[in-house]
Amino acid sequence: MSKFNTRYASSPTSVKTLNTQELRDEFLIQNVMKTDELIWTYSHYDRFMVAGVVPVKKSIALETIDPLKADFFLARRELGIINIGGKGTVTVDGSIYELDHKEALYVGLGNQVVIFSSKSSNNPAQFYLNSTPAHKAFPTKKIGSNDVEVIELGAPETANARTLRKYIVNSVVDVCQLQMGMTTIKTGSSWNTMPAHVHDRRMEVYFYFEVPEDQAVCHFMGQPQETRHIWMANGEAVISPPWSIHSGSGTSNYSFIWGMAGENLDYGDMDVCKINELR
Ligand SMILES: O=C[C@H](O)[C@@H](O)CC(=O)C(=O)O
Ligand SMILES: [Zn+2]
């Protein structure tokens, strides 16, 4: 069985009262990418699970964790994988999928043996993993660079010029509820997801990477009229409750992977906040 940490769901009323460290303990996930081991964070928001694995000395198998009370990890779940490192492979019940830098794999419910490996220990794969409960077995599918849906958002004038890449969304691959993609901020811009939004029917997790050494991203959360911030370093993730905005501004440009789960699969189903009404 794999190791795991549990994060409970909390109400906006109680979150208002948290100090800096309490807010971090509740929502921030530090050192997501672990070398040669897989340690899950199990959130009670939509039972979303987050981990990162870097196989260097050995291959790593996907193992169940005790709270699932399941014989194998994907007995009642689906899994999304985005590789942000060197070339790697994911073996799913004997089928080998090669994942290059910034390629993804969707693994459906029911697969029993999933193994993560790197092609080279000098430039290992870095697999970022999100998993959600699933009710139906959809086929496992690789999402290569050419399969991704790319959209350009924002503008330099508003410091939010960015490229958004949809990997695991229902127009690209059949899924039960998981959605994943990657957004890269352009040089000179700093803001992601501005104008900010909420989607009370869906939770979200942001994983910040490609944050240069000695730089940071200030992540904003909370209800639109009651916001808080969390300073984040490279390789850290943050859980966004359904009632919370999730937007960040970096001291340089950066990238992040977003993963969502909840009521529907409509990527554009957001309640956008008026920038000058945020508090
Ligand atoms: O609900 C959608 C998610 O918050 C992200 O896809 C938003 C994002 O990457 C951006 O605007 O920069
Ligand atoms: Zn969102």
CATH of the domain at 36: 2.60.120.10
pLDDT value at residue 76: 98
Handedness of CA 242, 207, 227, 44 (dihedral sign): positive
Residue 61: predicted pLDDT: 98
Tell whether 246 is in a known binding site. yes
The model's pLDDT over 48-89, given as tens digits with 9 standing for 90+, comes to 999 999 999 999 999 999 999 999 999 999 999 999 999 999
Count of alpha carbons within 13 angstroms of residue 55, beta-carbon side: 18
What pLDDT does residue 89 have?
A: 98
Q: What is the position in ligand 1's atom list of the atom closest to the CA of 183?
A: 9
Compute, in angstroms, the gap from residue 181 CA to the centroid of ligand 1. 8
pLDDT of residue 218: 98
Q: Which atom of ligand 1 lies closest to the CA of 240? A: 4
Q: What's the domain count of the chain?
A: 1
Q: Ligand 1 pocket: which of 182, 189, 193 to mutate (most atoms <8 Å of CB)?
A: 193
pLDDT digits (tens, 9 = 90+) for 214-229: 999 999 999 999 999 9
User: ipTM of the predicted structure?
Assistant: 0.99
The CA 198 to ligand 2 mean position distance, Å, reads 6
Q: What is the pLDDT averaged over residues 32-40?
A: 98
How high is the pLDDT of residue 248? 98
Residues whose CB is under 5 A from ligand 2 (ion)?
204
Does residue 246 have its Cβ closer than 6 Å to ligand 1? yes
The pLDDT tens digits for 83-132 are 999 999 999 999 999 999 999 999 999 999 999 999 999 999 999 999 99
Enter the pTM of the model: 0.98
Residue numbers of the domain that contains 230:
3-277
